[in-house]
Amino acid sequence: MKTLVVTLLLTTAALPVMAEDWTEDYRILRIGVTSSENEADRMARWEPWRAYLAETFGVEVEIYTAGSYDGIVQALAAGQIEFASLGSSAYAAAWTETEGGVRPILASQEEDGSTGYYSIIAVRCDAGYDSLDDLEGKVLAFADPDSTSGYAVPSYNLVQQGYDPSTFFSATTFSGSHEAGVQGVVNRQFDAAATNINNEVNGVPQRMVSKGMIEEGEICWIWESPEITNGPVTVRTNLPEDLIEDIKQAYLRAPEDAPEAFRAISGGDVATAKGFVEVDHDRYQWIVDMREWLKSRRRS
């Protein structure tokens, strides 16, 4: 009898730590990833992370992408994906669309302890633009209507600073993604583009340089927003609590358990993030309010 008890204890101890009852009902987990870069690069960057989560949970994990931020928001609302990596504005859109049916659990943290990033207005370094005043009557490209740093924050802050995009620029347009906007500036399709940086060494322009998409010194920025809270890892509230907790713990352990995968989703060669911190909805309520302000302006 003693031998049997020891055998059962050893067998139980050998079970995967992450194995929970939810795995019986969720044999496939789908994570949504917003379109801040081109499709091929996005899938390649997230593949190590997909493999890490699949190995951790013992279930199949799929990366879900869409042609726009709204595609990910709608997928969450329709229950087509379980969780997503969202920007702050896309999270606010999902929260509003689902009437509180999603919640944030984690946001990334930089090496210096900060948990935010900045919207910038990028221009060609050789264009002779030194300030926003130099862009009067020029063409500005926003990234996506649901982009925090590529649309909502610059639109809101520019108006507060006396530069109403609807009248200050000769035209505004949506490029479709941050990379497309920056590339359009390099190619002289647009005079300026709204995008984002984490700091002086990590951001959309820096990653594009590291990937060979643009040359060092081609892109400068002449405007920077106040700090924006990093977008959250967002889950559906109707998921089992043990599943949500396992997702949270997998992310929190990633810098040690899967450093290469963590670095890839954090920016690759220019990554400066060190991990994740827990967040709740209150941290993003101002983004919800800002989106309502933008919506009321469009209606008027």
Please tell me whether residues 191 and 216 are part of one structural domain: yes
What confidence score (pLDDT) does residue 11 get?
40
∠ Cα 128 129 132 (to 5°): 165
C-alpha torsion 88→236→145→124, nearest 10: 50
What single-letter DSSP state applies at residue 100? S
Please tell me whether residues 247 and 100 are part of one structural domain: yes
What are the pLDDT tens digits along the chain (300 aa)?
444 444 434 443 443 444 448 999 999 999 999 866 778 888 899 999 999 999 999 999 999 998 888 999 999 999 999 999 999 999 999 999 999 999 999 999 988 888 999 999 999 999 999 999 999 999 999 999 989 999 999 999 999 999 999 999 999 999 999 999 999 999 999 999 999 998 888 899 999 999 999 999 999 999 999 889 899 999 999 999 999 999 999 999 999 999 999 999 988 777 788 999 999 999 999 899 999 998 888 887
pTM here is 0.76
Please tell me whether residues 295 and 147 are part of one structural domain: no
Q: Within a domain: residue 3?
A: no
Q: Within a domain: residue 294?
A: yes
Q: Within a domain: residue 223?
A: yes
Please tell me whether residues 237 and 105 are part of one structural domain: yes
- Taking the C-alpha atoms of residue 105 and residue 93, their distance in angstroms, rounded to an integer, is 16
Task: Look up residue 134 and give its amino acid.
Answer: D
Please tell me whether residues 212 and 255 are part of one structural domain: no
Please tell me whether residues 131 and 63 are part of one structural domain: no
What single-letter DSSP state applies at residue 7? H
Q: Which domain holds residue 260?
A: 15-113+230-299
Give the contacts of 221 (CB within 8 A, at least 6 positions apart): 120, 121, 122, 123, 197, 205
Please tell me whether residues 51 and 180 are part of one structural domain: no
Please name the helix (run of DSSP H) or strand (run of DSSP E) that holds residue 268, with its range, or none: none
- CB contact at 8 A, 205 and 153: no
Which of 182, 197, 228 is the last residue before a domain boundary? Answer: 228
Please tell me whether residues 207 and 253 are part of one structural domain: no
Backbone angles phi, psi at 171, to 5 degrees: -160, 150
Chain centroid to Cα 237, Å, comes to 19
Which of 203, 228, 253 is the last residue before a domain boundary? Answer: 228
Q: How many CB atoms lie within 10 A of CB 95?
A: 25
Terminal Cα-to-Cα distance of the chain (whole angstroms) = 79
